[in-house]
Chain A
Amino acid sequence: MVNPILIIAITLMAAFSIGIFQFLGKKFVKSVFWLTILFDLFAIFSIAYSFITEKIVEPIVVKIGGFAPPIGINLSVDAISSYLGFVIFFIGAGAAYHWMKKGIEDPQPKAYILILLILLGSIGIIFTQDFFNLFVFIEITSIAAYGLVASKLDGKALEASFKYLIVGSISSMLVLLGAVLLYKFYGSLNMADISSKIAVSHYSGAILIMITMFLFGLLIELEMFPMNGWALDVYEGANPAIIAILAGGIVKAFLLVFVRSAIYLKYPYLLKIALIFGLTTYMVSQFFAWKQKNARRLFGYSSVAQLGLLVLAGGFYASGILTSTSKTYMLLAIVFFVLNHSFSKSTLFFLSDLIEETEISGWKGVLRKNKLFKFMFSTSVFSIAGAPPFLGFWAKLFFILAIPQKYFFVVVLVLIGAIAEIVYYFR
């Protein structure tokens, strides 16, 4: 098993050395980049593998700088975060390959650095146990993401990137304010330490507002309904490979952090927030998607809908109203949803790059001609919509099994949304 800190350290070192030694030529840059990606994939796989085979239950904790956790920063890796990290690196490697081959003619060293930084930041978001460190990693990820979105350098991409920058920096400022106020009230920035000091019974108004602010910042990054105009523009404007990284990988990291900080902070209204934002996002995006003519914007709406479903599932999982069996089901549902969404949506976005038709009407002709594209398109669409043999079906099945009777309307709404989704994909 590889020490998790090495993933962050080596990736950061590679990003810096590409910047400094780029005069050594394209070959050097390329080999450093791919060696780093391979190392990261191997490292995160070995960590995840050790959770499967050696049956470790305790998370792996790494102390940084030789200080014990409440004072120093520590990283913690458990089965879920190592799994998610592997998904992110896998999608990232695939998207980077596609981007270098097809997306840009002559990849500059900057492009490699940005990809390394965005992956590094999202791994940091998943692993870190410190609220301020979380803010720093969020900013690393977002700044790299603004650069990558803008890298197409045409009007649409730049406009999307600028909007993303405004919304992203406001949301990360909310996260920073929340983290600093937590320090003020509890004298600590360590997640586990704050969790042991916090209690729902003496939640005062100020603390409630502060934690809501913190979670709200993360919800904006999660593209929830009233605040997701920027996300759809990014889906439409940016290069599809970049969107595959953003939608397939980075957003999942934000989801994990959202659910985990809500658990750590013992936030009492998590289920309500998840129900309100998750369900409205899911329903509204499924029905807005009907009207779309641009294929990428349609995929964007579908992607946002899946995120709404994920937030809903995460809210149920963390709310503590589930029995232990249905909690396991919900966890399985989330794992399947993440896998399903990451891979099928990335496939669709890569397809939208290969087909080079932006309007939906143009897609029909291309799909009819090209058998391979047709096969890829229909498998991913079936999987996203949840047709029986595919992964999406099992995810939805476990989700429905896990929901308690009281919340039956959720099941009905989710099924209606799924039917709407099938219909608009097969128009």
Chain B
Amino acid sequence: MVFFLSSIVLMLIGLYAALTKRNLIKIIIGLSIMDTGINLFIISLGFVKNATAPIISLKELFKSNSLLVDVSKVVDPLPQALVLTAIVIGVAVTAMALSIVIRMYSVKKSIETDDYKELKW
């Protein structure tokens, strides 16, 4: 529950920052915070209390003598796989955004949105 609440708070903080800040770098930071919030949210969807990683060791297999695993003892592995992909994509977007800002800076020597009024903001 704590994870859910904090992830939603993170998302809202990120959205607020991305929409209201006037500095391009701060906007990107806001996007990253929002991304982190979503990742935390996805991870907490698959969370099971007092459970272990969904990896079956050979020792356990021999001990229990069957291929079936108690599902309530392991966390859901799929959200973790999704988060891994989402993190990579988030990093790619951040890198892209930062490189665009570098180019913008080299054109106009400013990273404030107030200086970019050529198109309507």
Measured CB to CB, the residues of A under 8 A from B are: 132, 135-136, 139, 143, 146-147, 150, 153-156, 158-163, 165-166, 169-170, 173, 176-177, 180, 183-184, 229, 233, 236-237
CA distance in complex: A28, B34 (Å): 42
Q: Which residues of A contact B82 (CB under 8 A)?
A: 132, 180, 183
Q: Which residues of A contact B119 (CB under 8 A)?
A: 156, 159-160, 163, 233, 236-237
- Which partner residue on chain A sits nearest B101 by CB separation? A162
User: B96 near A165 (CB under 8 angstroms)?
Assistant: yes
Q: What is the total number of residues of chain B having a CB less than 8 Å from a CB of chain A?
A: 32
From A162, A170, A229, A236, give the contact of B100 (CB < 8 A): A162
Decide: A170 near B15, CB < 8 A? Known: A132-B82, A165-B97.
yes
CA distance in complex: A160, B93 (Å): 16
Q: What 0/1 pattern do residues 81 to 121 of B give for CB contact below 8 A with A?
A: 01001100100110011001101100110000000101111
Most chain A beta-carbon contacts within 10 A, residue among B27, B79, B107: B107
Decide: A161 near B107, CB < 8 A? Known: A139-B89, A176-B38, A180-B42.
no
Decide: A162 near B79, CB < 8 A? Known: A153-B103, A176-B86, A180-B41.
no
- Which partner residue on chain B sits nearest A150 by CB separation? B100
Q: What 0/1 pattern do residues 37 to 58 of B give for CB contact below 8 A with A?
A: 0100110010000000000000
Decide: A166 near B18, CB < 8 A? Known: A150-B103, A177-B38, A183-B78.
yes
From A162, A229, A233, give the contact of B24 (CB < 8 A): A162
Considering the complex of A and B, which 8 residue pairs feature the smallest CB-CB distances, nearest first? A233-B119, A158-B104, A139-B89, A159-B116, A180-B42, A184-B45, A155-B107, A169-B93
- Main SS at interface, chain A: helix
Q: Which residues of B contact A162 (CB under 8 A)?
A: 24, 97, 100-101, 104
User: B79 near A183 (CB under 8 angstroms)?
Assistant: yes
Q: Which residues of B contact A169 (CB under 8 A)?
A: 31, 35, 93, 97
User: A146 near B96 (CB under 8 angstroms)?
Assistant: yes
CA distance in complex: A183, B121 (Å): 36
CA distance in complex: A237, B117 (Å): 12
CA distance in complex: A160, B92 (Å): 19
Q: Which residues of B contact A236 (CB under 8 A)?
A: 119
User: B96 near A147 (CB under 8 angstroms)?
Assistant: yes
CA distance in complex: A228, B118 (Å): 17
User: B41 near A158 (CB under 8 angstroms)?
Assistant: no
User: A173 near B41 (CB under 8 angstroms)?
Assistant: no
- Which partner residue on chain A sits nearest B119 by CB separation? A233
From B27, B31, B96, give the contact of A143 (CB < 8 A): B96
User: A156 near B118 (CB under 8 angstroms)?
Assistant: yes
Most chain A beta-carbon contacts within 10 A, residue among B24, B116, B118: B118
Decide: A143 near B93, CB < 8 A? Known: A162-B101, A170-B18, A180-B42.
yes
- Which partner residue on chain A sits nearest B86 by CB separation? A176
Q: Which residues of A contact B96 (CB under 8 A)?
A: 143, 146-147, 165
Question: What are 18 A-to-B residue pairs whose CB atoms are below 8 Å?
Answer: A136-B89, A153-B103, A154-B107, A155-B118, A158-B100, A158-B107, A160-B119, A161-B100, A165-B100, A166-B97, A173-B34, A177-B41, A180-B82, A183-B78, A184-B45, A233-B119, A233-B120, A237-B119
User: B108 near A155 (CB under 8 angstroms)?
Assistant: yes
- Within the complex, the shortest CB–CB distance from A142 to chain B, in Å, comes to 8
CA distance in complex: A183, B80 (Å): 13
User: A159 near B118 (CB under 8 angstroms)?
Assistant: yes
- Which partner residue on chain A sits nearest B102 by CB separation? A158
CA distance in complex: A173, B104 (Å): 25
CA distance in complex: A105, B18 (Å): 35
User: A155 near B35 (CB under 8 angstroms)?
Assistant: no
Q: Which residues of B contact A135 (CB under 8 A)?
A: 86
Q: Which residues of A contact B85 (CB under 8 A)?
A: 132, 136
Q: Which residues of B contact A237 (CB under 8 A)?
A: 119
- Within the complex, the shortest CB–CB distance from A285 to chain B, in Å, comes to 15
Q: Which residues of A contact B89 (CB under 8 A)?
A: 136, 139
From A146, A166, A173, give the contact of B38 (CB < 8 A): A173
